[in-house]
Amino acid sequence: MPIARITVEIEIPHAQSLKDRRQAVRSIKERLRHGFNVSVAEMDEGLVWNRATLGIAAISGSASYLTGQCETLERALHSFSNQNGVLISDIYAEVIPE
Protein backbone atom coordinates (compact mmCIF):
# COMPACT_ATOMS: atom_id res chain seq x y z
CA MET A 1 0.00 0.00 0.00
CA PRO A 2 1.49 3.39 -0.98
CA ILE A 3 2.22 5.95 1.71
CA ALA A 4 2.47 9.72 1.29
CA ARG A 5 4.57 11.79 3.62
CA ILE A 6 5.02 15.52 3.73
CA THR A 7 7.47 17.47 5.87
CA VAL A 8 6.68 21.15 6.37
CA GLU A 9 8.98 23.69 7.99
CA ILE A 10 7.19 26.84 9.12
CA GLU A 11 8.23 30.15 10.62
CA ILE A 12 5.98 32.00 13.04
CA PRO A 13 7.23 35.61 13.02
CA HIS A 14 4.58 36.90 15.43
CA ALA A 15 5.35 34.31 18.14
CA GLN A 16 6.61 36.00 21.28
CA SER A 17 6.17 32.98 23.52
CA LEU A 18 5.73 29.23 23.44
CA LYS A 19 1.98 29.81 23.84
CA ASP A 20 1.87 31.81 20.58
CA ARG A 21 3.77 29.04 18.81
CA ARG A 22 1.48 26.31 20.11
CA GLN A 23 -1.62 28.22 19.06
CA ALA A 24 -0.44 28.64 15.46
CA VAL A 25 0.77 25.03 15.15
CA ARG A 26 -2.36 23.58 16.77
CA SER A 27 -4.60 25.55 14.39
CA ILE A 28 -2.81 24.21 11.31
CA LYS A 29 -2.72 20.65 12.64
CA GLU A 30 -6.44 20.58 13.47
CA ARG A 31 -7.48 22.02 10.11
CA LEU A 32 -5.39 19.44 8.25
CA ARG A 33 -6.66 16.51 10.33
CA HIS A 34 -10.32 17.43 9.99
CA GLY A 35 -10.24 18.64 6.41
CA PHE A 36 -8.14 15.90 4.83
CA ASN A 37 -8.24 12.87 7.14
CA VAL A 38 -4.45 12.69 7.47
CA SER A 39 -2.12 12.14 10.40
CA VAL A 40 -0.23 15.23 11.52
CA ALA A 41 2.51 15.44 14.12
CA GLU A 42 4.95 18.04 15.34
CA MET A 43 8.43 16.70 14.63
CA ASP A 44 10.69 19.02 16.59
CA GLU A 45 11.16 19.60 20.29
CA GLY A 46 9.57 23.04 20.32
CA LEU A 47 12.53 24.82 21.85
CA VAL A 48 12.47 27.67 19.34
CA TRP A 49 9.37 29.85 19.54
CA ASN A 50 9.29 31.08 15.97
CA ARG A 51 9.85 27.82 14.05
CA ALA A 52 8.23 24.40 13.82
CA THR A 53 8.40 21.26 11.70
CA LEU A 54 5.27 19.27 10.93
CA GLY A 55 5.04 15.76 9.54
CA ILE A 56 1.95 14.68 7.59
CA ALA A 57 1.17 11.09 6.54
CA ALA A 58 -1.57 9.46 4.47
CA ILE A 59 -2.17 5.91 3.27
CA SER A 60 -4.23 4.80 0.29
CA GLY A 61 -4.53 1.96 -2.18
CA SER A 62 -3.70 4.32 -5.06
CA ALA A 63 -0.41 6.15 -5.55
CA SER A 64 -2.03 8.55 -8.03
CA TYR A 65 -4.68 9.49 -5.44
CA LEU A 66 -1.93 10.22 -2.90
CA THR A 67 -0.03 12.35 -5.41
CA GLY A 68 -3.16 14.44 -5.95
CA GLN A 69 -3.78 14.64 -2.21
CA CYS A 70 -0.21 15.88 -1.64
CA GLU A 71 -0.76 18.68 -4.16
CA THR A 72 -4.07 19.59 -2.52
CA LEU A 73 -2.44 19.56 0.93
CA GLU A 74 0.32 21.88 -0.26
CA ARG A 75 -2.23 24.40 -1.54
CA ALA A 76 -4.19 24.13 1.72
CA LEU A 77 -1.03 24.60 3.78
CA HIS A 78 -0.27 27.85 1.98
CA SER A 79 -3.84 29.02 2.57
CA PHE A 80 -3.83 28.04 6.26
CA SER A 81 -0.44 29.61 6.82
CA ASN A 82 -1.55 32.93 5.32
CA GLN A 83 -4.64 32.96 7.54
CA ASN A 84 -2.53 32.31 10.68
CA GLY A 85 0.33 34.72 9.88
CA VAL A 86 2.75 31.83 9.39
CA LEU A 87 5.42 31.54 6.68
CA ILE A 88 6.25 28.23 5.02
CA SER A 89 10.01 27.97 4.61
CA ASP A 90 10.11 24.47 3.08
CA ILE A 91 7.80 21.66 1.98
CA TYR A 92 8.99 18.20 0.99
CA ALA A 93 6.40 15.70 -0.30
CA GLU A 94 7.00 12.10 -1.27
CA VAL A 95 4.85 9.11 -2.20
CA ILE A 96 6.46 5.84 -1.18
CA PRO A 97 5.26 2.98 -3.44
CA GLU A 98 4.42 -0.49 -2.21
Mean pLDDT, to the nearest integer, of 17-27? 88
Residue 80 has pLDDT above 90, yes or no: no
| Residue 7, CA distances (Å) to 3, 17, 19, 75, 91 in order | 13, 24, 22, 14, 6
d(CA 6, CA 57): 7
Q: What is the pLDDT of residues 26-61, one digit of tens each?
A: 989 999 999 898 999 999 877 788 899 999 999 999
Pairing between β-strand 87-96 and β-strand 3-11 as defined by DSSP bridges = antiparallel
Domains of the chain: 3-96 (3.30.70.1120)
Give the helix, strand, coil percentages of the chain, each rounded to 5.
40, 35, 25
pLDDT at 91: 94
pTM of the predicted protein model: 0.89
Q: Are the C-beta atoms of residues 18 and 52 closer than 8 Å to each other?
A: no
Task: Please report which confidence band the pLDDT of residue 9 belongs to, taking 50, 70 and 90 as the band edges.
Answer: very high
